[in-house]
A and B are shown apart, each in its own frame.
Chain A
Amino acid sequence: MAEVATREFVPASQAAVRDEQLRQALRRAGSGFDGTRREAIAEVTEDVWEDWRQQARSIKEHTIAHLDYYLAMLERNVRAAGGQAHFARDAAQANAIVSEIARQQGVRTVTKSKSMVSEELGLNHVLEEQGIDVFETDLGEYIIQLAEETPSHLVAPALHKTRGQVAQLFAEQLGVPYSEDIEEMARIARVALRQKFLEADMGISGANFLVAETGSLVIITNEGNGRLCTSAPRIHVGLAGMEKVIPSLQDLAVFLRLLPRSATGQRITSYMSMVTGPRRADDEDGPEEFHLVIVDNGRSRLLQDPALRESLYCIRCGACLNVCPIYQRVGGHAYGWVYPGPIGSIVTPGLVGVAQAKDLPNASTLCGACRDACPVQINIPRMLLHLRRQQAESDDTNQRTVSDTDKALAQGFATVMSSPWLLRLGRLVGRALTAPLARSGKIRQTRLPLVSRWTRARDLPVPAGRSFRDRWRDELSKGGN
């Protein structure tokens, strides 16, 4: 499995907000993706969009509730089409399956189209240890493979890099002249990878959807690398999380409408490829073998908890990242694992274990922008709160993020807030104590005892002179009704 650095969220995010190049990259990408997404929605009208979201939601609800049934159907139909479906409990099993196929087939070169599951498994390293050359072919993935980094966004893996950084990387790693011309950089990648496509023995792809009815794997791409990876080598291996299955080919239409619009604001991507088994005997070309590796790797933990189950409806469009005020400031790497942003803060604790990732559910303002942007209406804030509550109530100190002091403070807060006279008293006392420390009504970054964790990163307002209740009463009496 890929290295897990989720425990480092706090220091990593503190470093990220001071990285000016990263801030620039995030500002450009966030507003860009979200702007085109909004335009694409306006074009079809809000009403139609809501109707599509509802359809997609219903399909996912039904499928995930009967996941065993549809996985069985999928497996049967992959087999009927001449392919093989393999099931893997965890990353080690999934990697072993792909390694063994490669070993039996004497594979020396692998070309890959983008797969987040492969990132999750850490598959490249496993194959490389076996002496196999592995080439990422999506431009963003190619860049981060050369840089020996991990993706920082679900659909734009190299979003954190500026053109200058990519130019520097290409000059160092590929020995080409330094050029910040983006068209030239794309050409360099094309030339470097063209021969690899044609000589690779194995192509590995992810899967955006798996169709149970026909046993098909669907990938949605823009560059054409996905088409080459699934067409040119003699073996095709598809990797997919088990939640990717949908029942019928008919269901695909609505997802083809939702996914590109949510991801990049495109009405449709350049390519959609649907693979059903290996090449048939009289086909001109295509792989001789088709393997589908279906991965659990912790997903059944999310499935098991009815409160977290809907996180498996995610179609990995990245829209929630593009609207998240936290992601937009800290970027993807701070989250410490493969899936960043709001949905990652639920999926990651599920897949790597809550104890490993206890900061992530707290890395949210609960503003709800992610829920509004989600094409499958996933209620992300609700699940983040659920995880926080679990943490607060846990007896296991490894999982708890809340100290006894925090707990006492929260209980005190609840007592005060539920009694009008205690609230009034608290306001008066609080104001008397804090007013001398304040400038323009706020206490800035002072290290107050008990609340220093708050004031370290935020201003603490001084309680107001007149309370809302007082003002409300006055307004009512003034209005005379």
Chain B
Amino acid sequence: MSMVNIGIPTAEFLASVREALGRADEPPASPYAPLQDDLAALTERAETVRERVARELPDLSRRLSETAALRGWNVARCGGVEEALDYVVSLAKQLGATSVARSEQAVFESVPIDAALAGVGAMCWPVVYHGPDCREAVRRRLAESGMGITGADYAIAETGSVIVLPRQGLSRLVSVVPPVHVAIVRPQDILDTLDDLFALRRLEFHQNAARGNGDMGSYLNFITGPSRTADIEQTIVVGVHGPREVHMVLLDEE
């Protein structure tokens, strides 16, 4: 770990900010409402979200697929696992992908993608690292893969986004390095709004903090459509540094 003590000490910096504000060292006189939430309040809000989402699921699923399509996803609504497997396999065939990277997530226990892809001669492999030595090898292999497949930790109907929380089994790179990304979304992943998502994330953060482990993971990533740029003459080009093509496989039931 780098030990750098070049900036000014925190206390001194904060004192100068306080001086500019003409404030004394004290918390806000009127406390900020969201930060007053205790675990009970956060739990209650999260439960309300879960109940509402469960109730409105058919509608949310339809809205998710519509919004996602508008934001650049290729959306495939699949009635079951077989249909989903067929979609991914024909996509791999069409792309001529011989190497397909995937995460190691629970969704692949019910969606046996490796065997299905092997049937058409595509090698599907999990992006997991075993020690630092294999880092370069995994990255090289990833760079050569024609497709990356992940599950979704959440999907949001309001924005048409898939949210992934990289962790053990779920590499940060598998959804950004290959030129095509496929996200498999299960009904239980779907939420309505951004507010729903942050309500659930806050609960998890504060639950962990209460256990003395103030942690909700190192990374959270929203993915909404393909990688794109408009930096030259405001002309939109897809597939700059991330995938040029993204597919949302929406399972109606698992």
Task: Please give the residue numbers on chain A whose beta carbons come within 8 Å of chain B beta carbons, in ascending order.
Answer: 25, 28-29, 32-33, 62, 65-69, 71-72, 75, 77, 80-81, 84-89, 93-94, 96-97, 100-101, 104-105, 137-140, 143, 156-159, 161-163, 166, 182-183, 185-186, 189-190, 193-194, 197-198, 213-214, 222-225, 227-228, 230-232, 235, 242, 247-253, 256-257, 264, 267-280, 282-286, 289, 291, 293-294, 296, 300-301, 303-304
Contacts and interface: CB of A to CB of B under 8 A. Distances in A.
B133 interface: no
B227 A270 contact: yes
B3 A104 contact: yes
A198 B143 contact: yes
Interface string B182-207: 00000000000111011101100100
Interface in B1-60: 1-4, 6-10, 13-23, 25-28, 32, 34-35
B218 A278 contact: yes
A137 B182 CA distance: 25
B159 interface: yes
Given A273-B221, A280-B167, A282-B168, A267 B8 contact: no
A227 to B, nearest CB: 5
Contacts of A293: 7
Identify the 7 closest CB pairs spanning chains A and B, nearest first. A224-B242, A140-B231, A87-B13, A272-B222, A253-B194, A231-B172, A224-B241
Contact of B7 (A86, A158, A289): A86
A283 B198 contact: no
Contacts, number: 287
Contact of B166 (A28, A272, A285): A285
Contacts of A272: 161, 221-222, 224
Contact of B32 (A28, A97, A186, A248): A248
Contacts of A279: 218
A255 to B, nearest CB: 10
A248 B34 contact: yes
Contacts of B6: 86, 93, 96-97, 100
Contacts of B166: 231, 283-286
A71 B17 contact: yes
B231 A157 contact: yes
- Please indicate which of the listed interface residues B2, B70, B201, B202 has the most CB atoms of chain A within 10 Å of its own CB: B2
Contact of B218 (A89, A161, A277): A277
Residue with the greatest number of chain B CB neighbours at <10 A, chosen from A65, A75, A250, A280: A250
A285 B2 CA distance: 19
Contacts of A137: 241
A268 B157 CA distance: 12
Interface in B201-215: 201-202, 205, 214-215
Contacts of B239: 186, 190
B112 interface: no
A154 B114 CA distance: 45
Contacts of B237: 182-183, 186
B230 interface: yes
A284 B130 CA distance: 9
Interface in B108-159: 127-129, 135, 139, 143, 159
Nearest to B127: A284
A80 B14 contact: no
A72 B14 contact: yes
Contacts of B22: 304
Given A224-B241, A284-B171, A264 B230 contact: yes
A250 B214 contact: no
A88 B8 contact: yes
B2 A291 contact: yes
B234 interface: yes
Contact of A256 (B7, B194, B218): B194
16 contacts: A66-B21, A67-B21, A93-B6, A100-B4, A140-B231, A161-B232, A163-B232, A194-B241, A223-B228, A227-B221, A228-B177, A247-B34, A271-B222, A271-B227, A285-B135, A285-B173
Contacts of B222: 268, 271-273
Nearest to A158: B231
A225 B16 contact: no
Contact of B224 (A68, A190, A271): A271
Contacts of A66: 21, 23, 27-28
Contact of B8 (A87, A140, A271, A278): A87
A16 B32 CA distance: 47
B169 interface: yes
Contact of B16 (A29, A270, A296): A296
Nearest to B25: A68
A278 to B, nearest CB: 7
Contact of A284 (B170, B221, B232): B170
Given A68-B18, A139-B232, A186-B237, A222 B227 contact: yes
Residue with the greatest number of chain A CB neighbours at <10 A, chosen from B1, B8, B21, B195: B21
